[in-house]
Amino acid sequence: MPDAQSSSCEVVEDAGFTIDAAQYGNVGRFINHSCSPNLYAQNVLYDHDNKRIPHIMLFAAENIPPLQELTYHYNYTIDQVRDSNGNIKKKSCYCGSDECTGRMY
Ligand SMILES: C[S@@+](CC[C@H](N)C(=O)[O-])C[C@H]1O[C@@H](n2cnc3c(N)ncnc32)[C@H](O)[C@@H]1O
């Protein structure tokens, strides 16, 4: 994936938005997972220097035409998500991409 320096966005500061929901939610809650996403998530420090609590920002991974759904890869590891009883949870992926693995986790 490209880093912020090499992305196609001209003004990097305006190219991403935070999905940090520590204080309150935002439009990031509507962004679905895709196995071939057009956004990528990156940890960003901009208002403090604590690397343990970075802001997570989304950047365009490619030139995205108008009206195309924005998606990113949730990066779950298959068979690593468990319920409160310790049982492995499985969730199907419906992203519809040619590279879809069929599983979100
Ligand atoms: C942050 S929300 C995304 C927005 C949500 N789809 C909505 O309609 O408000 C994350 C949830 O959306 C669903 N979801 C997102 N991407 C998905 C995908 N590729 N396949 C299946 N479910 C997905 C899952 O239920 C997931 O827990």
* 52-85 per-position pLDDT tens digit: 988 888 999 999 999 999 999 999 999 999 999 9
Q: For residue 73, give both structure tokens.
A: 């890869």
Which residue minimizes the CA distance to atom 1 of ligand 1?
Answer: 29
Q: Is 46 in the pocket of ligand 1 (CB under 6 A)?
A: no
Ordered by start, the domain boundaries in the chain are 1-105
ipTM of the complex: 0.98
> H helices then E strands: how many in the chain?
0, 5
Structural contact between residues 30 and 95, judged by C-beta atoms closer than 8 angstroms: no
CATH architecture of 1-105: Beta Complex (2.170)
Q: Is 29 in the pocket of ligand 1 (CB under 6 A)?
A: yes
How far is the centre of ligand 1, averaged over its atoms, from the C-alpha of 33 (Å)? Answer: 6
Ligand 1 nearest atom to the CA of residue 35, by list position: 19
Q: Which amino acid is at 66?
A: P
